[in-house]
Amino acid sequence: MQYTTLGRTGLSVGVAGLGCGGFSRLGLGTGGSEAEAVDLVREALDLGVNLLDTAAVYGTEEVVGKALRGVDRDRVVVCTKASKPAGAPQFTAEAVLESLDVSLRRLALDHVDVFQLHAVPPDAYDHVRSAVVPALARAREAGKFRFLGITETAPADIEQRMLHRAVQDDVWDTVMPAFHMMHQVARAQVFPFTRTRGIGTLLMFVVRGIFARPARLAETLRALAAEGKIDAALAEDTTPLGFLLHPAGATSLTDAAYRYARHEPGADVVLFGTGDRAHLRANVASILAPPLPASDRARLDAAFAHLRGVGLDVPPSATRG
Protein backbone atom coordinates (compact mmCIF):
# COMPACT_ATOMS: atom_id res chain seq x y z
CA MET A 1 0.00 0.00 0.00
CA GLN A 2 1.05 3.58 -0.63
CA TYR A 3 0.23 6.07 2.11
CA THR A 4 -0.37 9.78 2.17
CA THR A 5 -1.37 12.39 4.73
CA LEU A 6 -5.07 13.25 4.77
CA GLY A 7 -4.77 17.02 4.61
CA ARG A 8 -4.41 18.88 7.87
CA THR A 9 -5.77 15.94 9.86
CA GLY A 10 -2.26 14.52 9.90
CA LEU A 11 -3.74 11.03 9.53
CA SER A 12 -1.61 8.61 7.52
CA VAL A 13 -4.00 6.87 5.13
CA GLY A 14 -3.71 4.43 2.28
CA VAL A 15 -4.44 5.97 -1.10
CA ALA A 16 -7.03 3.20 -1.60
CA GLY A 17 -9.94 3.50 0.83
CA LEU A 18 -12.69 0.92 1.24
CA GLY A 19 -16.12 2.42 0.61
CA CYS A 20 -18.70 0.42 2.55
CA GLY A 21 -21.77 1.72 0.72
CA GLY A 22 -22.51 2.06 -2.97
CA PHE A 23 -24.27 -0.69 -4.87
CA SER A 24 -22.33 -3.56 -3.28
CA ARG A 25 -22.36 -2.53 0.40
CA LEU A 26 -19.50 -4.99 1.08
CA GLY A 27 -21.50 -7.66 -0.71
CA LEU A 28 -24.63 -7.26 1.39
CA GLY A 29 -26.30 -5.47 -1.51
CA THR A 30 -25.62 -8.36 -3.90
CA GLY A 31 -26.68 -11.29 -1.75
CA GLY A 32 -23.55 -11.81 0.33
CA SER A 33 -23.67 -12.76 3.99
CA GLU A 34 -22.55 -10.70 6.96
CA ALA A 35 -19.73 -13.18 7.64
CA GLU A 36 -18.49 -12.77 4.06
CA ALA A 37 -18.61 -9.00 4.42
CA VAL A 38 -16.57 -9.18 7.63
CA ASP A 39 -13.98 -11.35 5.86
CA LEU A 40 -13.86 -8.87 2.98
CA VAL A 41 -13.07 -5.98 5.32
CA ARG A 42 -10.39 -8.02 7.03
CA GLU A 43 -8.78 -8.92 3.71
CA ALA A 44 -8.73 -5.23 2.81
CA LEU A 45 -6.91 -4.53 6.08
CA ASP A 46 -4.44 -7.31 5.26
CA LEU A 47 -3.74 -5.57 1.93
CA GLY A 48 -2.84 -2.39 3.79
CA VAL A 49 -6.14 -0.55 3.34
CA ASN A 50 -6.50 1.43 6.56
CA LEU A 51 -9.36 3.85 5.77
CA LEU A 52 -12.91 2.51 5.97
CA ASP A 53 -15.75 4.81 4.92
CA THR A 54 -19.25 3.87 6.04
CA ALA A 55 -22.45 5.71 6.97
CA ALA A 56 -25.55 5.29 9.08
CA VAL A 57 -27.68 4.74 5.96
CA TYR A 58 -25.43 2.09 4.43
CA GLY A 59 -26.34 -0.69 6.84
CA THR A 60 -22.69 -1.72 7.13
CA GLU A 61 -21.56 -0.09 10.38
CA GLU A 62 -22.13 -3.26 12.40
CA VAL A 63 -20.13 -5.28 9.85
CA VAL A 64 -17.27 -2.81 10.10
CA GLY A 65 -17.42 -2.97 13.89
CA LYS A 66 -17.26 -6.77 13.87
CA ALA A 67 -14.38 -6.75 11.38
CA LEU A 68 -12.42 -4.42 13.67
CA ARG A 69 -12.68 -6.62 16.74
CA GLY A 70 -9.18 -7.44 17.87
CA VAL A 71 -7.62 -4.92 15.44
CA ASP A 72 -5.35 -2.24 16.90
CA ARG A 73 -7.55 0.88 16.86
CA ASP A 74 -4.60 3.04 15.86
CA ARG A 75 -4.16 0.99 12.68
CA VAL A 76 -7.47 2.03 11.16
CA VAL A 77 -9.06 5.34 10.17
CA VAL A 78 -12.82 4.94 10.54
CA CYS A 79 -15.12 7.40 8.79
CA THR A 80 -18.90 7.49 9.05
CA LYS A 81 -21.69 9.89 8.14
CA ALA A 82 -25.04 11.29 9.21
CA SER A 83 -27.71 12.05 6.62
CA LYS A 84 -30.79 14.22 6.75
CA PRO A 85 -33.55 11.93 8.08
CA ALA A 86 -35.88 10.69 5.36
CA GLY A 87 -38.85 13.03 5.06
CA ALA A 88 -37.32 15.70 7.27
CA PRO A 89 -37.23 19.23 5.83
CA GLN A 90 -33.64 19.83 6.90
CA PHE A 91 -30.67 18.63 8.92
CA THR A 92 -31.03 19.25 12.66
CA ALA A 93 -28.37 19.20 15.32
CA GLU A 94 -30.44 16.81 17.42
CA ALA A 95 -30.82 14.25 14.63
CA VAL A 96 -27.16 14.45 13.62
CA LEU A 97 -25.96 13.98 17.20
CA GLU A 98 -28.32 11.06 17.67
CA SER A 99 -27.02 9.52 14.43
CA LEU A 100 -23.45 9.88 15.70
CA ASP A 101 -24.27 8.11 18.96
CA VAL A 102 -26.06 5.28 17.15
CA SER A 103 -23.15 4.91 14.75
CA LEU A 104 -20.69 4.60 17.63
CA ARG A 105 -22.82 1.85 19.15
CA ARG A 106 -23.08 -0.03 15.87
CA LEU A 107 -19.35 0.29 15.27
CA ALA A 108 -18.60 -0.64 18.90
CA LEU A 109 -16.17 2.29 19.08
CA ASP A 110 -15.81 5.17 21.50
CA HIS A 111 -14.95 7.55 18.67
CA VAL A 112 -14.61 7.75 14.89
CA ASP A 113 -11.74 9.47 13.16
CA VAL A 114 -13.80 11.41 10.62
CA PHE A 115 -17.49 12.22 11.06
CA GLN A 116 -19.16 13.59 7.94
CA LEU A 117 -22.41 15.36 7.15
CA HIS A 118 -23.68 13.31 4.24
CA ALA A 119 -25.16 14.49 0.94
CA VAL A 120 -25.58 18.16 1.81
CA PRO A 121 -27.32 20.04 -1.04
CA PRO A 122 -26.33 23.63 -1.87
CA ASP A 123 -29.48 25.16 -0.39
CA ALA A 124 -28.89 23.44 2.95
CA TYR A 125 -25.32 24.60 3.44
CA ASP A 126 -25.98 27.85 5.33
CA HIS A 127 -28.28 26.08 7.79
CA VAL A 128 -25.82 23.22 8.32
CA ARG A 129 -22.99 25.68 8.89
CA SER A 130 -24.88 27.81 11.39
CA ALA A 131 -27.12 25.31 13.19
CA VAL A 132 -25.35 21.94 13.08
CA VAL A 133 -21.62 22.62 13.07
CA PRO A 134 -21.58 24.33 16.52
CA ALA A 135 -23.27 21.29 18.09
CA LEU A 136 -20.77 19.02 16.39
CA ALA A 137 -17.92 21.08 17.80
CA ARG A 138 -19.14 20.18 21.27
CA ALA A 139 -19.37 16.51 20.32
CA ARG A 140 -15.80 16.66 19.09
CA GLU A 141 -14.69 18.23 22.35
CA ALA A 142 -16.41 15.32 24.13
CA GLY A 143 -14.17 12.93 22.18
CA LYS A 144 -16.81 11.36 19.92
CA PHE A 145 -14.91 12.13 16.72
CA ARG A 146 -11.60 13.68 15.73
CA PHE A 147 -12.20 15.45 12.42
CA LEU A 148 -15.22 16.88 10.62
CA GLY A 149 -16.08 16.31 6.96
CA ILE A 150 -18.83 17.00 4.45
CA THR A 151 -20.03 15.17 1.33
CA GLU A 152 -21.99 16.39 -1.67
CA THR A 153 -25.19 15.38 -3.47
CA ALA A 154 -23.24 14.66 -6.65
CA PRO A 155 -26.04 13.95 -9.18
CA ALA A 156 -28.07 16.92 -7.93
CA ASP A 157 -25.15 19.36 -7.73
CA ILE A 158 -23.17 18.74 -10.89
CA GLU A 159 -21.32 22.06 -10.65
CA GLN A 160 -20.26 21.21 -7.08
CA ARG A 161 -21.66 24.49 -5.78
CA MET A 162 -21.93 23.26 -2.19
CA LEU A 163 -18.36 21.95 -2.02
CA HIS A 164 -17.06 25.08 -3.74
CA ARG A 165 -18.40 27.04 -0.78
CA ALA A 166 -17.38 24.50 1.84
CA VAL A 167 -13.72 24.38 0.81
CA GLN A 168 -13.50 28.14 1.31
CA ASP A 169 -14.93 27.87 4.83
CA ASP A 170 -12.45 27.09 7.60
CA VAL A 171 -14.64 24.40 9.16
CA TRP A 172 -14.18 21.17 7.26
CA ASP A 173 -11.18 18.90 7.67
CA THR A 174 -12.23 16.63 4.78
CA VAL A 175 -14.53 16.75 1.77
CA MET A 176 -15.83 14.02 -0.51
CA PRO A 177 -16.17 15.11 -4.15
CA ALA A 178 -17.30 13.05 -7.12
CA PHE A 179 -14.52 12.86 -9.70
CA HIS A 180 -13.86 10.63 -12.68
CA MET A 181 -12.60 10.59 -16.28
CA MET A 182 -15.79 12.14 -17.65
CA HIS A 183 -16.77 14.32 -14.69
CA GLN A 184 -13.75 16.50 -13.95
CA VAL A 185 -15.48 19.46 -12.28
CA ALA A 186 -13.54 19.15 -9.01
CA ARG A 187 -10.34 20.11 -10.78
CA ALA A 188 -11.52 23.74 -10.80
CA GLN A 189 -14.22 23.82 -8.13
CA VAL A 190 -12.61 21.87 -5.29
CA PHE A 191 -8.97 20.81 -5.57
CA PRO A 192 -7.33 24.24 -5.85
CA PHE A 193 -8.83 25.13 -2.46
CA THR A 194 -8.28 21.81 -0.70
CA ARG A 195 -4.64 21.87 -1.72
CA THR A 196 -3.97 25.38 -0.42
CA ARG A 197 -6.08 25.00 2.74
CA GLY A 198 -4.96 21.51 3.74
CA ILE A 199 -8.40 19.90 3.44
CA GLY A 200 -8.28 16.14 2.96
CA THR A 201 -10.10 14.64 -0.03
CA LEU A 202 -11.93 11.32 -0.31
CA LEU A 203 -12.88 10.73 -3.95
CA MET A 204 -16.14 8.98 -4.78
CA PHE A 205 -17.90 7.97 -8.04
CA VAL A 206 -14.50 7.15 -9.55
CA VAL A 207 -15.86 4.11 -11.44
CA ARG A 208 -19.56 3.43 -10.91
CA GLY A 209 -21.42 1.68 -13.73
CA ILE A 210 -20.20 3.80 -16.60
CA PHE A 211 -16.68 2.34 -16.64
CA ALA A 212 -17.55 -1.07 -15.23
CA ARG A 213 -20.01 -1.85 -18.04
CA PRO A 214 -18.75 -1.21 -21.60
CA ALA A 215 -22.28 -1.31 -23.03
CA ARG A 216 -23.31 1.45 -20.64
CA LEU A 217 -20.30 3.54 -21.65
CA ALA A 218 -20.97 3.00 -25.36
CA GLU A 219 -24.58 4.12 -24.93
CA THR A 220 -23.48 7.22 -23.03
CA LEU A 221 -20.90 8.15 -25.68
CA ARG A 222 -23.50 7.81 -28.44
CA ALA A 223 -25.91 10.03 -26.57
CA LEU A 224 -23.27 12.67 -25.92
CA ALA A 225 -22.17 12.62 -29.57
CA ALA A 226 -25.80 12.98 -30.72
CA GLU A 227 -26.10 16.06 -28.49
CA GLY A 228 -22.92 17.51 -29.98
CA LYS A 229 -21.11 17.38 -26.66
CA ILE A 230 -18.22 15.14 -27.76
CA ASP A 231 -16.44 14.26 -30.99
CA ALA A 232 -18.52 11.74 -32.93
CA ALA A 233 -15.43 9.57 -33.46
CA LEU A 234 -15.46 8.69 -29.77
CA ALA A 235 -18.91 7.14 -30.15
CA GLU A 236 -17.95 5.20 -33.27
CA ASP A 237 -15.10 3.24 -31.69
CA THR A 238 -16.11 -0.43 -31.41
CA THR A 239 -14.21 -0.54 -28.10
CA PRO A 240 -15.40 2.46 -26.05
CA LEU A 241 -12.37 4.58 -25.05
CA GLY A 242 -10.24 1.83 -26.53
CA PHE A 243 -7.31 4.24 -26.92
CA LEU A 244 -6.68 3.75 -23.20
CA LEU A 245 -6.10 0.01 -23.57
CA HIS A 246 -2.60 -0.80 -24.79
CA PRO A 247 0.58 -2.42 -23.40
CA ALA A 248 1.91 0.84 -21.97
CA GLY A 249 -1.51 1.99 -20.79
CA ALA A 250 -4.46 0.58 -18.88
CA THR A 251 -5.49 -3.06 -18.74
CA SER A 252 -9.21 -2.22 -18.55
CA LEU A 253 -11.52 0.76 -18.31
CA THR A 254 -11.85 0.34 -14.54
CA ASP A 255 -8.07 0.20 -14.27
CA ALA A 256 -7.86 3.43 -16.29
CA ALA A 257 -10.52 5.10 -14.17
CA TYR A 258 -8.82 4.30 -10.88
CA ARG A 259 -5.41 5.39 -12.14
CA TYR A 260 -6.80 8.60 -13.62
CA ALA A 261 -8.35 9.65 -10.31
CA ARG A 262 -5.54 8.43 -8.09
CA HIS A 263 -2.94 10.63 -9.77
CA GLU A 264 -5.04 13.79 -10.02
CA PRO A 265 -3.31 16.63 -8.13
CA GLY A 266 -5.42 17.14 -5.02
CA ALA A 267 -6.56 13.52 -4.67
CA ASP A 268 -5.73 11.98 -1.30
CA VAL A 269 -7.83 8.82 -1.08
CA VAL A 270 -9.67 7.02 -3.88
CA LEU A 271 -12.67 5.22 -2.45
CA PHE A 272 -13.71 1.95 -4.05
CA GLY A 273 -16.56 -0.41 -3.30
CA THR A 274 -16.71 -4.14 -3.72
CA GLY A 275 -18.46 -7.28 -2.58
CA ASP A 276 -15.92 -9.72 -4.00
CA ARG A 277 -12.44 -10.58 -2.80
CA ALA A 278 -10.88 -10.90 -6.27
CA HIS A 279 -12.45 -7.57 -7.22
CA LEU A 280 -11.05 -6.08 -4.02
CA ARG A 281 -7.52 -7.11 -4.94
CA ALA A 282 -7.89 -5.88 -8.53
CA ASN A 283 -9.18 -2.48 -7.40
CA VAL A 284 -6.32 -1.99 -4.97
CA ALA A 285 -3.79 -3.02 -7.62
CA SER A 286 -5.17 -0.44 -10.06
CA ILE A 287 -5.13 2.35 -7.49
CA LEU A 288 -1.50 1.51 -6.70
CA ALA A 289 -0.48 1.35 -10.38
CA PRO A 290 1.51 4.15 -12.07
CA PRO A 291 -0.24 7.10 -13.72
CA LEU A 292 -1.76 6.69 -17.15
CA PRO A 293 0.53 7.76 -19.99
CA ALA A 294 0.54 11.53 -20.25
CA SER A 295 -0.81 11.42 -23.80
CA ASP A 296 -3.80 9.30 -22.74
CA ARG A 297 -4.58 11.58 -19.82
CA ALA A 298 -4.32 14.66 -22.04
CA ARG A 299 -6.71 13.08 -24.52
CA LEU A 300 -9.25 12.39 -21.77
CA ASP A 301 -9.00 15.95 -20.52
CA ALA A 302 -9.39 17.44 -23.98
CA ALA A 303 -12.39 15.25 -24.77
CA PHE A 304 -14.33 15.44 -21.51
CA ALA A 305 -13.25 18.34 -19.25
CA HIS A 306 -16.30 20.37 -20.30
CA LEU A 307 -18.83 17.67 -19.39
CA ARG A 308 -21.03 17.87 -16.31
CA GLY A 309 -22.87 15.16 -14.40
CA VAL A 310 -22.00 12.19 -16.60
CA GLY A 311 -21.94 8.76 -14.97
CA LEU A 312 -23.14 9.76 -11.52
CA ASP A 313 -25.56 6.88 -11.05
CA VAL A 314 -26.61 6.14 -7.49
CA PRO A 315 -27.98 3.11 -5.63
CA PRO A 316 -31.75 2.81 -5.09
CA SER A 317 -31.43 4.94 -1.96
CA ALA A 318 -30.11 8.27 -3.22
CA THR A 319 -28.36 8.90 0.08
CA ARG A 320 -26.05 5.95 -0.39
CA GLY A 321 -22.68 6.98 -1.76
Residue at 116 is within a domain: yes
Domain assignment present for residue 230? The answer is no
Report, as an integer, the average pLDDT of 171-178: 98
118-138 pLDDT, tens digit each: 999 999 999 999 999 999 999
In angstroms, the Cα distances linking 192 to 167, 168, 180, 199 are 9, 10, 17, 10
| Contact status, residue 292 vs residue 249, Cβ threshold 8 Å | yes
For 247-286, the pLDDT digits (tens) are 999 999 999 999 999 999 999 999 999 999 999 999 999 9
CB 22 within 8 A of CB 271: no
Whether the predicted pLDDT of 99 surpasses 80 = yes
Q: For position 317, what pLDDT does the model report?
A: 57
Q: What is the CATH number of the domain that holds 38?
A: 3.20.20.100
**pLDDT-derived band of residue 319, with 50, 70 and 90 as boundaries?**
very low
The answer to whether residue 119 sits within a structural domain is yes
The per-residue pLDDT for range 61-71, each reduced to its tens digit, is 999 999 999 99
Burial code of 164-192, b = ≥16 C-beta within 10 A, e = fewer? bebbeeeebbbbbbbbbbbbbbbeebbbe
Long-range CB pairs of 238-242, under 8 A, 24+ apart, other chains included? 239/214, 240/214, 241/181, 241/217
Q: How many domains does the chain have?
A: 1
Range of the domain at 75: 3-212+269-291
Interval 147-154 mean pLDDT: 98
Residue-averaged pLDDT of the chain: 96
237 within some domain: no
Paired strand residues for 245 = 250
Q: Domain for residue 305, yes or no?
A: no
- Domain assignment present for residue 303? The answer is no
